[in-house]
Amino acid sequence: MEATLGQKAAHRLTGHPWLVLVTVMVGTLLIGLDRTVVNLAMPKIMGDFGITVSTAAWIATAYIISNAIFVPVFGKLGDLFGNRVIYLWSFVGFIVVSVLAGLAWDFSSLVVFRVLQGLVGAAVYPTAMSLIAKSFIEPKARAQALGIWSSSFAISAVIGPLLGGYVIDNLSWRWIFFINLPIGIAGLIMTLLFLPKDQPGERGTFDWFGAVLLSGAITSLVLVVDRGQDWGWLSSASVLCYALTLVFGYMVYRWETRHTHPIIDFKFFHNPVIVSVLAVSFISFGGMMGAMLLLPVFAQTFLHYTATQSGYLFVPMALALPVFAPLGARLAIAFHPRYTVSFGMALSALGLFMLMHLDPTMTSYDFVLPLVLFGAGLGLGMAPLTNAATTAVPLHEVGMSSGLLNLTRNIGGAFGIAIFSTILANATNANVLMVAQSSHIRSSAPTILAEGAQLIIMKAEILSYGTVFGFAAASMLIGALIALFFLKVSITGAEDIPPELLAEAAAGG
């Protein structure tokens, strides 16, 4: 009865909840597409600006750091000042900055605009989750809506290489930013028409000093995770980042536990639901991002695919995600969510395991089944996890909890990319020795010896990709076991529906 009244009140205050969902999905897809296509454009950008690979990496690093910093900040701002106003102005900012990034006149200007893109784009995920949670009060409808929304987030990571590859191959790298303009304008119009107006409530004060401290901790952590392999994990720069992470992290804890309106409320870490959801999300996104980064590299390096062709490999995954994400939400209601999440991650682990035996003779059809299993597993597991982060806290704290969830996913993805890239490099070195010891070149001609050495290195690299996917499968399987035995999810869907909404709904019949 209470949920029904709350749902009626939410409908009257927000318009139709499904229009809210479609609107925030447009923003989610836009931000996700922008984040994934830039890596494909790196060779063209390097050629235009005359920069090295290590220098070009700052284009991605600048975005990742900025985005990671401001996700929890905007989650809290949405709770304090309203999700619609934060979402609206972040959308406007993203459109403007995207055009400026496409017009970048040198490398430095492009990095600055990528920092700004990460900043304004950080508002979309936490405010979108909060808007969905507040529009769908009834637990089953909310779970279904979050399942559909979760699939849009994952699909963006798949469609990005597909769309970006075509644009880069046929137009210019600048168009990966310009295409945000028409999509962004459509999303902006939908935002003005369909998103609910913010309701008056307790505003509080924003914790600016806590935001600065949190920025220091996140910056140093993400920086060493993203750049540590190039610097050396025990280099002076890396050690400095470790130290700054610990110092700023301790200062964040001391300050936030004493502030009346903290950006990150540490009481969340006493909530077993939130802790278990964050742990499983960290592992799953680490495995997902690490695997998705390396597969296009393998396809372009050893199968000689173009950027567009390597993007086509992800089509089976893109088709599986929107089908299985809503299914995961329904199964989580029929059974305990931990079983759905665990089965989904195990299914993803099986898909990655099937990619261990990569071979240069493989065709695109050989990738269909593994990637369908991988995408289906992600779809099954992601929706219940996202729903759990919203049902475990009161509605007025959904923005903060969703910001923390997305921060965890960002850092988990960064760790996954860093760890698997390191494993790839170390495995290649080890495999070169192993393959060389078991190889026999029956000629002393210099050309034959040189060709033999190249074949040994190529074989070692191919085996190394298999090793990486083996580790990725193992990480997903560990996540499945953690979900099975430790994931705690609120299945009651009890929310704190404001009394004024209940009174309005009752009066309205």
Q: What is the pLDDT of residue 453?
A: 62
CATH 1.20.1250.20 fits 2-195+261-507, yes or no: yes
417: Cβ contacts below 8 Å, ≥ 6 apart: 226, 289, 290, 293
**Domain locations along the chain:** 2-195+261-507, 207-260
The confidence band for 502, taking pLDDT boundaries of 50, 70 and 90, is: very low
Q: What is the pLDDT of residue 350?
A: 92
Give yes or no for a contact between 190 and 246, defined as CB atoms under 8 angstroms apart.
no
Dist. CA 215–CA 248, nearest whole Å: 9
Dist. CA 29–CA 25, nearest whole Å: 6
- CA 177 centroid distance within chain: 19
Q: How far apart are the first and last CA of the chain?
A: 12
Mean pLDDT is lowest, of 3-17, 245-259, 431-445, for: 3-17
Give yes or no for a contact between 404 and 75, defined as CB atoms under 8 angstroms apart.
yes
Per-residue pLDDT tens over the stretch 402-415? 777 777 877 887 77
Q: Averaged over 182-199, what is the pLDDT?
A: 82
Give the number of other CB atoms < 10 A from CB of residue 229. 17
Dist. CA 94–CA 267, nearest whole Å: 33
Residue 104 phi/psi, 5-degree rounding, is -50, 130
Dist. CA 191–CA 39, nearest whole Å: 29
Report which of 366, 215, 352, 214 is spatially closest to residue 292, judged by C-alpha positions: 352
pTM: 0.72
Q: What is the pLDDT of residue 504?
A: 35
Percent of the chain with pLDDT over 70: 81
Q: What is the pLDDT of residue 446?
A: 63
